[in-house]
Amino acid sequence: MKAKSFQLRGCIALAFVIAGAAAQAEPLTSVRLAPDELKWGPSPTGNPRANIVGDEQKPGMYMYRVRFPANAKVQPHFHPDERIITVLSGTLYMGYGDRFDESAMKALPEGSIWTEPAKQTHFVWAKDGEAVIQVIGGNGPSGVTRVEQK
Protein backbone atom coordinates (compact mmCIF):
# COMPACT_ATOMS: atom_id res chain seq x y z
CA MET A 1 0.00 0.00 0.00
CA LYS A 2 2.82 2.40 0.88
CA ALA A 3 4.52 1.73 -2.48
CA LYS A 4 1.33 2.61 -4.40
CA SER A 5 0.89 5.79 -2.36
CA PHE A 6 4.51 6.75 -3.04
CA GLN A 7 4.06 6.08 -6.79
CA LEU A 8 0.88 8.15 -6.86
CA ARG A 9 2.58 11.06 -5.10
CA GLY A 10 5.51 10.78 -7.52
CA CYS A 11 3.18 10.88 -10.53
CA ILE A 12 1.34 13.91 -9.12
CA ALA A 13 4.65 15.71 -8.46
CA LEU A 14 5.84 14.93 -12.01
CA ALA A 15 2.56 16.24 -13.45
CA PHE A 16 3.05 19.54 -11.57
CA VAL A 17 6.63 19.86 -12.84
CA ILE A 18 5.53 19.26 -16.43
CA ALA A 19 2.59 21.65 -16.11
CA GLY A 20 4.86 24.30 -14.59
CA ALA A 21 7.37 23.99 -17.43
CA ALA A 22 4.60 24.27 -20.02
CA ALA A 23 3.15 27.29 -18.23
CA GLN A 24 6.51 29.06 -18.43
CA ALA A 25 6.83 28.55 -22.20
CA GLU A 26 6.37 31.57 -24.40
CA PRO A 27 2.91 31.38 -26.04
CA LEU A 28 2.80 31.04 -29.80
CA THR A 29 1.96 34.35 -31.47
CA SER A 30 -0.04 34.99 -34.63
CA VAL A 31 2.30 35.52 -37.58
CA ARG A 32 1.65 35.90 -41.31
CA LEU A 33 4.73 36.55 -43.44
CA ALA A 34 5.30 36.53 -47.17
CA PRO A 35 8.81 35.47 -48.26
CA ASP A 36 9.81 39.05 -49.06
CA GLU A 37 8.94 40.12 -45.49
CA LEU A 38 11.52 37.85 -43.86
CA LYS A 39 14.36 39.70 -42.14
CA TRP A 40 17.65 37.90 -42.72
CA GLY A 41 20.61 38.21 -40.37
CA PRO A 42 23.60 36.09 -39.34
CA SER A 43 23.11 32.71 -37.66
CA PRO A 44 25.43 31.05 -35.11
CA THR A 45 26.98 29.11 -38.03
CA GLY A 46 27.51 32.33 -40.02
CA ASN A 47 24.87 31.59 -42.68
CA PRO A 48 21.95 33.99 -43.27
CA ARG A 49 18.98 33.24 -41.02
CA ALA A 50 15.41 34.58 -40.74
CA ASN A 51 13.56 34.13 -37.45
CA ILE A 52 9.87 33.50 -38.10
CA VAL A 53 8.25 32.83 -34.73
CA GLY A 54 9.36 32.26 -31.16
CA ASP A 55 12.81 32.56 -29.66
CA GLU A 56 15.02 29.50 -29.48
CA GLN A 57 16.71 30.96 -26.39
CA LYS A 58 13.42 30.78 -24.44
CA PRO A 59 11.13 27.89 -23.51
CA GLY A 60 8.59 26.98 -26.16
CA MET A 61 8.19 26.53 -29.89
CA TYR A 62 10.29 28.38 -32.45
CA MET A 63 10.78 28.37 -36.22
CA TYR A 64 13.37 29.92 -38.52
CA ARG A 65 14.92 29.59 -41.96
CA VAL A 66 18.59 29.28 -42.86
CA ARG A 67 20.13 30.00 -46.27
CA PHE A 68 23.28 28.08 -47.18
CA PRO A 69 25.35 29.65 -49.97
CA ALA A 70 26.82 27.28 -52.57
CA ASN A 71 29.46 24.99 -51.05
CA ALA A 72 28.71 26.09 -47.44
CA LYS A 73 29.65 23.41 -44.92
CA VAL A 74 28.53 23.17 -41.32
CA GLN A 75 30.85 20.96 -39.31
CA PRO A 76 29.54 18.38 -36.81
CA HIS A 77 27.52 19.86 -33.99
CA PHE A 78 24.42 19.16 -31.91
CA HIS A 79 21.57 20.93 -30.14
CA PRO A 80 20.06 20.22 -26.70
CA ASP A 81 16.52 20.07 -28.12
CA GLU A 82 14.68 18.15 -30.83
CA ARG A 83 14.15 19.66 -34.28
CA ILE A 84 12.40 18.89 -37.56
CA ILE A 85 13.91 20.38 -40.72
CA THR A 86 12.44 20.79 -44.20
CA VAL A 87 14.47 21.62 -47.31
CA LEU A 88 12.59 24.50 -48.99
CA SER A 89 14.88 24.97 -51.97
CA GLY A 90 18.04 23.49 -53.43
CA THR A 91 19.69 20.29 -52.26
CA LEU A 92 21.42 19.94 -48.93
CA TYR A 93 23.66 16.99 -48.10
CA MET A 94 23.12 15.86 -44.51
CA GLY A 95 24.82 13.29 -42.30
CA TYR A 96 24.82 12.11 -38.71
CA GLY A 97 28.04 11.51 -36.78
CA ASP A 98 30.94 13.10 -34.93
CA ARG A 99 33.10 13.74 -38.00
CA PHE A 100 32.36 15.34 -41.36
CA ASP A 101 32.14 12.27 -43.60
CA GLU A 102 30.96 12.81 -47.17
CA SER A 103 30.27 9.07 -47.58
CA ALA A 104 27.77 9.23 -44.68
CA MET A 105 25.77 12.06 -46.25
CA LYS A 106 22.46 11.80 -48.07
CA ALA A 107 21.38 14.30 -50.73
CA LEU A 108 18.13 15.88 -49.61
CA PRO A 109 16.44 17.84 -52.43
CA GLU A 110 13.63 20.39 -52.09
CA GLY A 111 10.74 18.95 -50.09
CA SER A 112 12.91 16.54 -48.07
CA ILE A 113 12.84 16.42 -44.28
CA TRP A 114 15.10 15.17 -41.53
CA THR A 115 14.94 15.02 -37.78
CA GLU A 116 17.50 15.99 -35.20
CA PRO A 117 16.90 14.19 -31.91
CA ALA A 118 18.30 16.04 -28.89
CA LYS A 119 22.11 15.84 -28.77
CA GLN A 120 22.31 13.95 -32.11
CA THR A 121 25.52 15.09 -33.81
CA HIS A 122 25.02 16.06 -37.46
CA PHE A 123 26.58 18.05 -40.31
CA VAL A 124 25.44 19.56 -43.63
CA TRP A 125 26.87 20.70 -46.97
CA ALA A 126 25.33 22.79 -49.75
CA LYS A 127 27.50 20.93 -52.25
CA ASP A 128 25.49 21.59 -55.42
CA GLY A 129 24.45 25.22 -54.87
CA GLU A 130 22.40 27.42 -52.57
CA ALA A 131 19.89 25.68 -50.29
CA VAL A 132 17.28 27.00 -47.85
CA ILE A 133 15.90 25.05 -44.90
CA GLN A 134 13.16 25.66 -42.36
CA VAL A 135 13.77 24.55 -38.78
CA ILE A 136 10.97 23.86 -36.31
CA GLY A 137 11.84 23.30 -32.67
CA GLY A 138 9.36 22.88 -29.88
CA ASN A 139 11.51 22.55 -26.82
CA GLY A 140 13.58 25.70 -26.39
CA PRO A 141 15.84 26.95 -25.01
CA SER A 142 18.28 25.70 -27.59
CA GLY A 143 21.90 26.18 -28.51
CA VAL A 144 24.74 24.83 -30.63
CA THR A 145 27.58 22.64 -29.36
CA ARG A 146 30.37 22.12 -31.89
CA VAL A 147 32.20 18.81 -31.98
CA GLU A 148 35.99 19.14 -32.05
CA GLN A 149 37.56 17.54 -35.14
CA LYS A 150 40.73 15.50 -34.59
Span of 42-51, 98-107, 121-130 with lowest mean pLDDT: 42-51
The DSSP letter of residue 90 is S
Task: Looking at 25-106, list the stretches that DSSP marks H as alpha helix, in order from N- to C-terminal side.
Answer: none
Best CA proximity match to 55, nearest among 140, 119, 118 = 140
pLDDT attached to residue 14: 47
Q: How far apart are the C-alpha atoms of 147 and 150, rounded to whole Å?
A: 10
E-strand ranges in 2-150 read 40-42, 48-53, 60-68, 73-78, 83-89, 91-96, 106-109, 113-116, 122-125, 131-140, 145-146
- Given the candidates 2.60.40.10, 2.102.10.10, 3.40.710.10, 2.60.120.10, the CATH classification of the domain at 3-146 is 2.60.120.10
Q: How far apart are the C-alpha atoms of 16 and 23, rounded to whole Å?
A: 10
Boundaries of every domain in the chain = 3-146
| Interval 2-23: pLDDT, tens | 555 545 555 454 444 444 444 4
37 φ, ψ (degrees, to nearest 5): -95, -5
| Interval 95-120: pLDDT, tens | 999 999 999 999 999 999 999 999 99
pLDDT attached to residue 17: 44
Q: How far apart are the C-alpha atoms of 47 and 2, rounded to whole Å?
A: 57
> What pTM was estimated for this model as a whole?
0.81
